[in-house]
Every structure is written in structure tokens, then in C-alpha cells.
Structure 1
């Protein structure tokens, strides 16, 4: 079982926000799949933390897992950077920016309330278009947003045109003044990934030979934890829920709609030490458990596997002809469920143990 306290009767998204985990995560030795449930969503999708909704990655729409209750971002001129859009911890909101990477739209940070349908611009700077070579000096390039653990704030990177550094900043989930956490030496064009834990932040800098850096939120010099690599993009960063590990992965091997031979993931201990592989053998689409530092992944082409910690002993959970990540980046592991694409269909694997 997951160590910690799970409040009885927690089925709604508001209840989910009151669940408390001690951080030990699942008991991998007893973890098993007890059933499967189809998800009524076409194309890539991202599961909400309470396991009741999915964000479709081909259009800015949210539905329940049974396909009902659709809510879509409906505002002219708002392009949604869906690959970098994320659920709030209580599963009631989505945070995203305008699509800077593909459309070169000048990005603000937006919050979409999937319950009421309200759309809020948290960082409107009055600039709508970003012109390469002649950018508006008033532009504030807001990128890579994510939520604080309690959902009360949104954290992101803020750059200005032609500057080779960005500020890591925070703003209240309902808006207000933006506060600076720290500055890092990586310009907005080179910052390709950003992740936060309770006391640390990690980022990937560089398009051609990306380096991964780690720093404390309370100051101090950053540490380069992975040197540059020509054959990796390192565009996927995530801390384990207990903050003890940083997972670094590249999405290029997953860009085809077929099983990759393997991924390029590695796990970095945040307290110091050498990186370790997620597990022996081929590893694709690794994702952290809701608590602790267990990881689920796919051993291509179709074996869903779990380890209790990076480098641990693999345990098989489920097999099929072909298993892919639901959002083409990582599996979707929330308490009691694991979202995967099984033989082309989004499917919830129900977990117990």
C-alpha cells in the first residue's frame, strides 16, 4: 500500500487536494493491476492527478475519462502550448502559455478553470506578437509554467529579448505581483526544460548539446549534474515526489507512433552522487509514482514494468502487443491508476497493493 494517510471516500477533485502522503510511495512488491478501463479520448492525452479527467493534447479540451463534460479553451488569439500544459494538484485547472516554440507567439501564462470554463491571463504584458530579429522591448517571455505543490502559485521562467539569462519567478494562481526566486544563466531561446521540487529547481540549457543544472531555491551556486550530449534533447525533467531524485529524459526517441527501441532516461540523486539508469534493460516513458520514488515504465514493445527506486529490481505489471505513453512523453501514474496507450487505445490500468 502507499505509505501515508488517504482520506476515506476521496473521489472528487477537491477531496484529492486534501489527501496526505508520507512520501514512501507504493509497496512495489505487492503492487498489481486489478483491471483495465478504456478512456474515451482520441489521440494523446494527459491524466489529471485525481484520475477523473484527461487533457487532450491535440486540442485544448478537457473531458471526464468517460468522454463526457467537455470543456475547451475558447478565446480567439490564444494559442495553447499543449505539450507544456499541466494540471493543478487539485485537478480543477490547467496552466499553459501561448505557443512560443512552434508559432513564435509572445507567451503569457494562462490558467484555464476546467470546472467553470474561465480563462485568466496571469501575466499580460500587452505584447501579442514576437518578431524574430526585431522583438518588442516591452515583451516578457514567460515559459515552462508549473504549479506549486499546494496549487496556490504558478512558477515559471521569465526572459526578455536578447538577454542570455532568465529569472525563475512565481505568481499567485489567481494573479497578482510576480516574485523572483532566482536568476539562471540560460537565455529563453536555450531553456528547454524546467522542473521544481520543494527546495530545488532543475533546468536543461542548450539545443545542440543540452546540459542539466540543479540549484537550491534559497540561493547558492548551481551545479551541472549532466554535461552536454549531442544525441539527447533532455526536454523532460521531473523530480520524484520526495525530491530525492531528478529524472532526465529525451523525447526524441518517442516521436514516432511505434515502440521505441529504448529511451534515454537517467536518474540523478539530488543529494549528490552519480546518475543511475532507471533499470537494467530497455526503458521508455518512465514516470514517477504519486509518492516516494518508484518508477513505472515500458519495456518495449509492450511490457509495463515498475521499480521501487531508480536502479531497482524490475517487476512486470502488464503486457500487451504495444504500449505507448498517453502524451507521447511519459506514463500517467496517479493514485490507484496508470494511464497508458494499449494497442492504440488510451487505457487506465487500475492498481492495488
Structure 2
């Protein structure tokens, strides 16, 4: 079998054949991280994400490096794939099923020819700066939508006031969008702000009833997530900070909560914390979630002398699943239990 020429509906991808085959096989595929990839071996590549068919995933947790299946001196780079829900490709049956689904019938010379068609990734890293940007597509303010419309309903079902989120965080709805951010349509758009300006954005799909092949989040391109802390502007007024994973937890707690937009803590984020706060509370979703970033927090302590106080809900709920008052009761108890005067800290922060 001779692989097709390197043409695609999206000609900007590094591996058009793989990108198109994933779309045909799984129904929907997105370039998850242009300029990045799964693992440290191909840092100038990109990743393609689909919903994993083996673990019931509906949020695009199965990632393929653009080099998956591309022959090198060690073979076909079959290790460059990961399910971030249950690591399903580690099961040999799953990995073989995926190979057959994408590359069935290929011979050695087919893979060799394919390798020549894959483009270098060194030129695909998007140029992201902290300069102000526009939000994608046709933006609708939540305050102009009726309470029964999808975006308002999604938020109210989770105990959030849509108008308050619009006023405090600029949250809005994307009614339609074209290239280069076609995937932003029919999503909540969450501006990422710093020093009062929007420097990035994140799109959140509405309801799990939407297409299971549609990833939960759709973001501005570029390597920006590891360079920001969501909610940092409001948190600066406080002498301590509460670090959480996602934006909805920041909405629930309010200041001084900031979100890392993932389970890990990057060096840039650690610097932002260490240069601003001497006390960092880390509200992890569970103990394993904290362990995934424990080394980064250890470096934060060693480099800046920052006091790091990790904790998690005894019942396993993440911060967004608590009521606001309940969340703050947990935070106060953690502060007091660690020997800090919660009332004084909150008064200093203007709470």
C-alpha cells in the first residue's frame, strides 16, 4: 500500500496523512498543541487529540504525536501516544488495534515513503506574546442571552451566575467562528487576563450531551498555558494565594484563587507565585493530582522560601463542586490548622 500524497483539508499540519486518518476513524480530530508533542523526544512537533474509544472518554484525552507511526532508527515511534485519562495505549491490544485502524496493510517501504512526507516541526511553534488579543468569532455577552439559552443554562445548572461571571471575568459565548479558530463556535469563551488585558482565551464546550468527539476545551494556539495564572489580577491584593487546576474552581472561590489550567506547575508559573506570595495554598483535586506537581512546588519552596500548604477535599470533590461558603470554610480551616491566622490574612487582603 502506497501512502497518499501529503495533502489535507488542513494543509498546515505536519503529518497530513495521520491527521486525516484520525479524523476519518474517530470522527473529530484537533491539533491540540502546535509546536509541542507527547513526550520530550519531539519538542518541535505537534499533537493530535481525539476521544479515546477504550475508556469512555468524551473530552479528547487521547493524544498522538505527529511522529506516531513515522519510522526512525528505533522503529515506528509507537510509544508517542498517550491517553491522559487511563493510559489506554499501554494495553497491547489497544495499541495494536490503533495501528491497524490507521496503518492497516502498510509495508516497510510505505512507512519509509511516509517519513519523507512528514514536515519538520521546527517552524510550527506559534508566536505568542503577552500583547492584547481579540476573542474568536461572533461573541455574545451572557447578559444579552435569555436564561434558557444553552450557555446560561449550562452555568446555572452548575450554580454559577452568568451575569456575575461576565462582569468579573469577561466570560462570554461564541455563537459562530471561522478559520483559524473554527472550533470555538458554540462554546463559552473564557478570557485569560493579565494586568487588565486579555492575552489568551479558553473555550469550554457546553454539556456532555454535545458530540463526544468534541474536546471539552478548545484554546488559543500557542505555548501560553504554562505561562499564565488565571485570576492573577484579583489575587494580587492578597498576602496569600490558593492554587487550583481549572477556571471553574476560581469562579467558585473567587480571589485569591488562581488556576494553573492543568495538573502540573510550570517553571514560569512557579516564578509568578514565588515572586508575589510567601504563602501558597494548593487545593488539589486529590493526593495523586498534587503528586504530579510536587517536584515543582518543592523547587518553589527551595528557590523562594515560599510556604506551600497542599490539601484536598476529604470527600474527593474538586473546589468547583463546593458552594462558595463551603469552599471558604475549608480554606479557613486549612490556614488555621497550619498555624496561620486566617482572619488576619483575609482582612489584609481586603476580604
| TM-score bin, normalised by smaller chain | under 0.3
Q: Which has the higher contact order (CA 8 A, sep 6+)?
A: 1
Relative to its length, the structure with more helix (as a share) is: 2
Instruction: From the CA coordinates, give the structure whose radius of gyration is larger.
Output: 2
TM-score by length of 2: 0.24
TM-score by length of 1: 0.24
